[in-house]
Amino acid sequence: MNKPRPNAGTRANTIRRRPVVLTKRSTTAPTRVAVLGTGSWGTTFAKILADGGADVYMWARRAEAAAAIDREHRNAEYLPGVTLPANLRATSDLKAAITGAAVVFIAVPSQALRDNLTAIKPLLGRDTIVVSLMKGVEKQTGLRMSQVIEQCLEIEPERVAVASGPNLAMEIAKEQPTAAVISSVSLETAQEVALLARNRYFRTFVNTDVIGTEFGGVLKNLIAVAIGIVDGVGYGENTKASIITRGLVEMTDFAVAQGAHAETLSGLAGLGDLIATCQSPLSRNNTAGRLLGQGYSLASVVKQMQQTAEGLASVAPVLEIAAASGVEMPIVQQVKRVIEGTMDPRDIAPHLTTASDEPQSEHGETGEIAPLGTGSVKSGSRLWRRLFGSGR
């Protein structure tokens, strides 16, 4: 990462804020939407939208991938055995996919987002809403996906939303019921997107905590890599439960220090997704961790992975932001060291690498019951004063 950039006060955060009038969409005709990316999540989300009644056009970067989806109503490469709705079309022509779309959903790997936005920008309508389905941060800048979108497309934050939650693609593609959060600084935008992205097996809630919702998705990936390492090494349920529990504290500390609400990290986009991803062999982050735990090098793991494991790229920028904000993330530190090959995976443990050997309070430095998300925040810090010093 070249320049660590704290989340508060980035340019993308400070594009403020002429009032945006969101045009009400027609309620009679199906809403035209585009989904960019025909991997496992893009295809599954397109199915969610089509099954919810939207008129969906997917974009694939490879013409043969688009043609196969259009012709066979299947995406055998990413979702074997799943039949896609007949009203779901695909193209490799970006202009054809985006033109006329009221909402554009993006599901490409996080590190590829910026390049794709350059091509997307001239094709967007004045009111088009852009929704990130991604769960990574940009390695070079540390920016969240919604920030990259605002910055590159030069659009108001009110036209941007994110979707996150316990959403393992293959389970949803098989129509197993689940829920997710749609978040935007504009409640109206979040509601509009949530109404489109819901159907008999997919329930959407809304919030306006974009920072917490996005970081929930980013951070649970890192804890899922840790759990994979534990599995790979052969440790059992106590180790995993300890890491999941302490991992949630790290996630919450980090996100709150960036301006998130602690409750968001206890919700679907935090705890919910943490449970799903840490428990499931479907998780690519979990799988990558398991290979690391079995002793494979990062290069070998990347080679073996057929699909995107965002946690591998997010770990360094997250730790840089954590260091800049005074947040301790001992579990994520351990993941980084295993990825770098500087720690034996068998040494992974839920211990806290604090300077002192004194037993540490589970609930923060006072030893009193403190809200989740204050476990490792130092008592002199700005966050601590905000939580405890102001009498709140």
Ligand X SMILES: NC(=O)C1=CN([C@@H]2O[C@H](COP(=O)(O)OP(=O)(O)OC[C@H]3O[C@@H](n4cnc5c(N)ncnc54)[C@H](OP(=O)(O)O)[C@@H]3O)[C@@H](O)[C@H]2O)C=CC1
Residues 128-187 that bind ligand X (CB under 6 A): 133-136, 167-169
- Exactly one of 220, 303, 336, 378 is catalytic; name it: 220
343-370: burial string, b at 16+ Cβ within 10 Å, e else: bebeebbbebeeeeeeeeeeebbeeeeb
Question: Strands 178-183 and 160-164, how do they pair?
Answer: antiparallel
Angstrom distance (rounded) from CA 385 to CA 392: 10
Report if residue 43 touches ligand 13P, rule: CB under 6 A: no
Report if residue 223 touches ligand 13P, rule: CB under 6 A: no
**Closest to ligand X by CB, 153 or 377:** 153
Question: Strands 160-164 and 55-59, how do they pair?
Answer: unpaired
Angstrom distance (rounded) from CA 321 to CA 40: 29
Residues 59-88 that bind ligand 13P (CB under 6 A): none
Amino acid letter for position 24:
K
What are 62's two structure tokens?
């490879």
Q: Which one of ligand X, ligand 13P, none interacts with residue 244, CB within 5 to 8 A by kind?
A: none
The count of residues interacting with ligand X (CB under 6 A) is: 26
Could you tell me how far CA 172 lies from the centroid of its own chain?
A: 17
Residue 62, annotated as binding a ligand: yes
Considering the complex, what minimum distance in angstroms separates the CB of residue 214 from ligand 13P?
Answer: 12
* 220 classed as catalytic: yes
**Closest to ligand X by CB, 264 or 325:** 264
Report the 10 Å Cβ neighbour count for 99.
Answer: 14
Report if residue 135 touches ligand 13P, rule: CB under 6 A: yes
What are 273's two structure tokens?
């997704």
Residues 265-294: x where in contact with ligand 13P by CB under 6 A, - otherwise, as a string: --------x--xx-----xxxx--------
Which long-range CB contacts under 8 A does 62-68 form with residues at least 24 apart? 62/92, 63/92, 65/38, 65/90, 65/92, 66/38, 66/90, 66/91, 66/92
Binding residues for ligand 13P (CB under 6 A) = 135, 166-168, 221, 224, 273, 276-277, 283-286, 310
* Binding residue positions for sn-glycerol 3-phosphate: 135, 165, 220, 273, 283-285
Binding residues for ligand X (CB under 6 A) = 37-42, 61-62, 65, 78, 107-110, 112, 116, 133-136, 167-169, 307-308, 310
* Binding residue positions for NADPH: 40-41, 61-62, 78, 135, 169, 284, 310
